[in-house]
Structure 1
Amino acid sequence: MGKAGIGPIRLEPVYKKAIWAGERLKKIRGLQEDGIGICREVCAYKGSENQVEEGQFKGCRIDQVIADYRRELMGPDDSGQLVRVAYMDTREDLSIQVHPNEDQAERIGDFEKSESWYILEADPGAYITAGVNCSDKATLRSAAESGDMEQYLVRIPVKAGDFAMIPAGLVHACGKNMLALEVGSFGGITYRLYDYGRGRPLDLDKGMEILDPSLRCELVHTQEKVPGVPRPLVRHRLFSADVLDVEGTWTLDGYEGYRILCCVEGACRIIREGEEYSLPYTKTLLIPASCGPVEIRGNARLLIAWKV
């Protein structure tokens, strides 16, 4: 530890293949494998924990670090879980799905899964699916079973710099031809409702029970640059996020819990007690609660995530 506690932690990304994967992550990160659709950047969920990539905790799972240094890492948060952060690189539409809220998840021993998406890159005509235009669940189920659900889906055009909040219970899917950063709560339960005939199993009984056809997506546009001013994107009881444009130098200070810094445009360096941490495009650093002030230098846009 440094004088002010634990320094920034870089976690080892976990790459997952997907049938809908694009090639943006492969090109950006120089990956060898094709078909990488998901890059899990920060996750302490059971069975999916990241390992620490470098430094004093190198090789340790992040849940072990939380257990051994809970106060130093988490601050007042005693949940034992971190806000989840992952990239999704899409060439095709993801399956239409829904996640449980807190009460529904607790009944099966899990956590609520609400999430949000920041769009880093998007081809012309890109969209997300968020919501349905039919309030009758029987009709929705029949359409899902017959392969005709698309007529009831709400499609929202998006472009780079858009941010969408996806609460638990909202029917949703990330669309094709984009790179998105997902920031969300701790849960890991997904019920698939529709899959464009790909042949994978559906979870219609469970999914139809928990979906809420009245829910809608909240979309925030952040294309305008406002250097040096963190702008709120979401304030959910389980996670929060700001967008920050840095031109030159900016200091992150005055926080009680941890912060997750995701570079969604440009590149920068994080300086703490004379040590320097690179933060290029799409990379992530976890700033522990006990870290103290860090200086951000460069020309970059950061998404900053934490739990309220």
Structure 2
Amino acid sequence: MTTLYPFKFKTIFKDKIWGGNKIKTHLKKDFGSLPNCGETWEISAVKGNVSVVANGNLAGNNLAQLIEEYQHKLVGNKVYQRFGNEFPLLIKFIDANDDLSIQVHPDDTLAKARHNSFGKTEMWYVLQADEGATLISGFNQKVDEQTYLNKLNNGQINDILNKEQVNTGDVFFLPAGRVHTIGKGLMIAEIQQTSDITYRIYDFDRVDDKGQKRELHTEEALAAIDYNVYANYKSEYEKTPNQVNEVVACPYFKTNFMDLTAPLKRNYKNLDTFKILICVAGAFSVVANNYPINVGLGECILIPATVEEIEILTNTGAKILETYID
């Protein structure tokens, strides 16, 4: 049987009504004849959008095939017992050339009942922010369902939403139920549960190239929304160089941040799970099981559970997100 090694996957490109060109200009990814690219899906097991291996002896196999063949050796015993052959995370890059719709995602319970799906808890890391760029996360005051509906139906929804000024390196954790949108001028790395369920609340009355407005999900969203207000919506985290800094820890994933200017060894012997490394600045290389792989800006690798130790090297300096299920 093939010795497992760090996997790169072929990028899946998505054009969006709000998408732009930073995927090409900033991340140097060619999206071909698409009119724009709003999202790239880098590691995905979503039906119809399953990532295909781009490197090594297993190139051409997709992620679903890898899990079916290698099971716990790929994802770890606990993860395989919990999720079976379903890969639990989806990794994206997002380029917002315009504001995304105001939206919300259901939690596991609601998503299971309605869609036989996982819910969608996610986090955003800001790769790049134009001057003055903002996003929306949650409410700026406690509201109930009726107050929310009154504001929505009267065109005043923005009055009760929490708007944040955004800079490169900012992190926002978005549990399922939190109303949100990515604002114009932001490039985001997104880590989320494997789900493509979005309830669109408001879309600024935009129309597509056929003059049609996109569907809204007003009724579906009501049971999904968390109407509470919170003191902080931005995730504060340490950025100590050449160390592993925890950013987010939740039942669905744990994410660490590394700002490297020197080699770093990572020992995973006590971590029974896959690991994903996402390059959000600079470039780095990894040696695992005697297999070397280079990772540039906007690239990700999936490190199998059987890999117990890696060394990360960088000549240029690198900022890296490391995510896994603990």
TM over 0.5: yes
Matching residue of 2:138? 131
User: Secondary structure, in 3 states, of the residue corresponding to 1:196?
Assistant: coil
Deviation sequence 1:83-129 (CA, Å, 0-9, x none): 21101101111101111112111212111110000001001211110
3-state secondary structure, aligned to 1:210 = coil
Query: For structure 2, which runs of at least 5 residues remain unmatched after alignment?
Result: 207-212
Whether 2:153 is the aligned partner of 1:153: answer no
Task: Figure out how many residues of one structure are paired with residues of the other and give that number.
Answer: 305
Partner of 1:92: 98
For 2:10, the equivalent position in structure 1 comes to 12
Structure 1 gaps of 5+ residues are none
* Preserved CA contact (<8 Å) 2:10 2:42: yes
Matched residue type, 1:129: I
Mapped pair 1:203 → 2:217: yes
Q: 1:241 aligns with which of 241, 255, 262?
A: 255
Query: Does 2:250 correspond to 1:232?
Result: no
Amino acid in the other structure paired with 1:115 = E
Structure 1 residue 197, shift from structure 2 partner: 0.8
What's the TM-score once normalised by structure 2's chain length? 0.89
Once superposed, which parts of structure 1, at least 4 consecutive aligned residues long, lie more than 4 Å away? none
Letter in 2 for 1:236: C
Please state whether the residue corresponding to 1:218 is helix, strand or coil. coil
What value does the CA root-mean-square deviation take over the aligned residues? Answer: 1.7
> Secondary structure at 2:49's aligned position in 1?
coil
Question: What is the aligned-residue identity percentage?
Answer: 28
Look up the match of 1:25.
23
The equivalent position to 1:194 in structure 2, one of 197, 202, 205, is 202
Is 1:220 aligned to residue 235 of structure 2? yes
Contact 2:281 2:318 in 1 (8 A): yes
Give the distance between the partners of 1:288 and 1:161, measured in 2 at CA. Answer: 27
Residue 195 (structure 1) shift: 0.5
Contact 1:263 1:282 in 2 (8 A): yes
Superposition TM-score, scaled by structure 1 size:
0.93
Residue identity matched to 1:29: K
Structure 1 partner of 2:210: none
Residue type of the alignment partner of 1:269: S
- Please give the alpha-carbon distance, in whole angstroms, between the structure 2 residues aligned to 1:194 and 1:102: 23
Whichever residue aligns with residue 16 of structure 1, its letter is K
Name the residue aligned to 1:288: 304
8 Å CA contact 2:200, 2:218 repeated in 1 = yes
- Match in the other structure for 1:279: 295
Larger deviation, residues 12-21 vs 264-273: 264-273
Report deviation, 1:228: 2.0
User: Is residue 182 from structure 1 mapped to residue 190 from structure 2 by the alignment?
Assistant: yes
Q: What are the superposed Cα offsets for residues 179-215 of structure 1, whole Å, 9 maximum, x if unpaired? A: 1011111222110001011121100001012101105
State the Cα deviation string for residues 201-259 of structure 1 (Å, max 9, x = none). Answer: 1000010121011054631245x742221111111101110001111211122232111
